[in-house]
Structure formats: structure tokens, C-alpha cells
């Protein structure tokens, strides 16, 4: 199924009737509340105020997709090209194709990105993601420089805080912690994915080095404590 509305898409995912969801994912649309009017996603007026963190319906949709094994196929990862242009982007700062693709691929539930292109050159820029370095994919500092959007206190799974001195993959641990929230018990797939990590939250020595590298002021030590309590190690 294809949708731009996170509330409608969530109903479809929870129904068990679909296995794949095509959905618009990018760091600007992710701020917008659900609407039947798709024009609202790129209506400049909606971005005029100061916006903070992602819409909770969208977060819930992505997390539910991951929990239930419904793969998200991403459309609009460049916002029709606007996000690559500082003058057109609602964020007020231009992102690179690598950053847009990496943001979409690091949302829970996302399996694949369909990157649109107006030319062969644009297509090549998207394909270059396959060989891009971690630095080229890193979107954290660019997000932190957005003049009108704040992600303060919200983990966007960017891994800018790496490396952890105990080799914990902080972004994945935090993502799995979020996937347990508002659940009566830990979903089996989340428990398995957490178990498969090489290092776990219980190994955190609370040195705080990672927090000095997080551009969004995330309470990483607190999250590691919570994850160790929830998963037991």
C-alpha cells in the first residue's frame, strides 16, 4: 500500500493485511502531523514557526512497521529535490543525497529507498551512497544547524556519538529501547535483534564521552540504564 498519511498507514499495518508500505520519509515531512491533504506536506506556511522533533504518529508508524515486519519502501526522501537546495528546503539548509538517503534508511522499519532522479547525473549521485564513507552519510551536524527545526533531546539514530568506549552501538540500542516503549512485553523480534548485538547496554560504564559528541543533547547514559533494565543486560 502507498500512503502519505501516517494514521491511515498505521491502520493498514496493524490490520495485518499488508507486507510492504510505500511511505514518504524525510526529516521535514517527519515533522508534519497527519493530513488527508498531501499539499500540506510541502506547504511553506507549515514550516514558518519553530518546529521541534518528529511527529508522534510518524514515529509510531515506523516503529510498528519494524515490530510487525512490514517493510517500508521510501518515497520523497529528497522532498522532490527541495531538501537538496537551501533556498527551497523548509529546513533552510541544503542536505546532500547521501544524508537524505541515510536518514531514511536509519528510520525503524525502513527496508529500501526509491531515490528519484531528474537526470543520469542525479541518479549517479544516489548510487554513490553505496560507496559513501560514514562521514559523508553523517547528517547529525547538518540537522543541528537547521535554523527552524530542533531535534533537541531526540535520538535520530545518527551514530554521531560513536565510538563508545565499550563498543556499544548506541543508535541501535536506543532504537530497540524505543521499540519496547508502550508495549506490554518486549516484542520477540526486538528481543532477538538486541541479543544479536555484539555489546549491550549493561556494559555501559557511564563515562559520558558519547554525550559530548551528541549534537542533540540526548541523555545517552540514562537510555543505556533504561535499556539494561528493560532487556536485563
Which residues form the interface with ligand SF4 (CB under 6 A)? 140, 155-161, 164-166, 168, 170-171, 174, 204-210, 214, 216, 218, 220-221, 224
Q: How far is the CB of 218 from ligand SF4 (least distance, A)?
A: 4
What secondary structure letter does DSSP report for 154? -
Q: Which is nearer to ligand SF4, 13 or 144 (CB)?
A: 144
Helix residue ranges, H only, 167-218: 170-180, 188-196, 209-213
The CA distance from 154 to 138, in Å, is 16
Q: How far is the CB of 131 from ligand SF4 (least distance, A)?
A: 23
The CA distance from 173 to 56, in Å, is 20
Q: How far is the CB of 157 from ligand SF4 (least distance, A)?
A: 5
Q: Which is nearer to ligand SF4, 2 or 52 (CB)?
A: 52
Q: Say if CB 137 and CB 37 are below 8 A apart.
A: no
Q: How far is the CB of 139 from ligand SF4 (least distance, A)?
A: 9
Exposed, middle or buried by CB within 10 Å (0-12, 13-18, 19+), for 68?
A: middle
Amino acid at each position: 500500500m502507498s500512503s502519505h498519511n501516517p494514521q491511515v498507514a498505521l491502520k493498514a499495518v496493524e490490520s495485518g493485511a499488508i507486507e510492504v508500505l510505500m511511505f514518504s520519509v524525510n526529516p521535514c515531512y517527519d515533522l508534519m502531523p497527519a493530513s488527508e491533504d498531501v499539499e500540506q506536506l510541502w506547504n511553506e506556511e507549515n514550516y514558518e514557526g519553530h518546529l521541534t522533533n518528529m511527529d508522534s504518529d510518524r514515529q509510531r508508524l515506523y516503529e510498528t512497521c519494524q515490530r510487525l515486519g512490514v517493510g517500508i519502501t521510501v518515497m520523497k526522501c529528497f522532498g522532490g529535490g527541495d531538501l537538496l537546495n537551501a533556498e527551497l528546503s523548509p529546513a533552510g539548509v541544503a542536505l546532500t543525497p547521501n544524508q537524505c538517503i541515510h536518514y531514511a534508511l536509519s528510520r525503524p522499519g525502513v527496508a529500501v529507498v526509491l531515490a528519484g532522479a531528474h537526470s543520469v547525473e542525479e541518479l549517479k549521485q544516489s548510487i554513490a551512497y553505496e560507496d559513501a564513507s560514514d562521514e559523508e552519510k553523517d547528517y547529525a551536524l547538518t540537522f543541528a544547524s537547521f535554523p527552524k527545526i530542533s531535534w533537541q533531546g531526540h535520538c535520530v539514530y545518527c551514530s554521531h556519538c560513536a565510538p563508545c568506549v565499550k563498543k556499544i552501538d548506541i543508535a541501535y540500542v536506543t532504537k530497540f529501547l524505543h521499540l519496547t516503549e508502550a508495549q506490554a512485553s518486549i516484542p520477540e523480534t526486538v528481543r532477538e535483534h538486541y541479543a544479536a548485538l555484539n555489546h549491550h547496554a549493561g556494559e555501559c560504564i557511564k563515562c559520558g564521552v558519547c554525550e559530548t559528541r551528541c549534537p542533540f543533547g540526548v541523555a545517552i547514559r540514562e537510555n543505556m540504564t533504561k535499556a539494561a533494565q528493560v532487556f536485563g543486560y
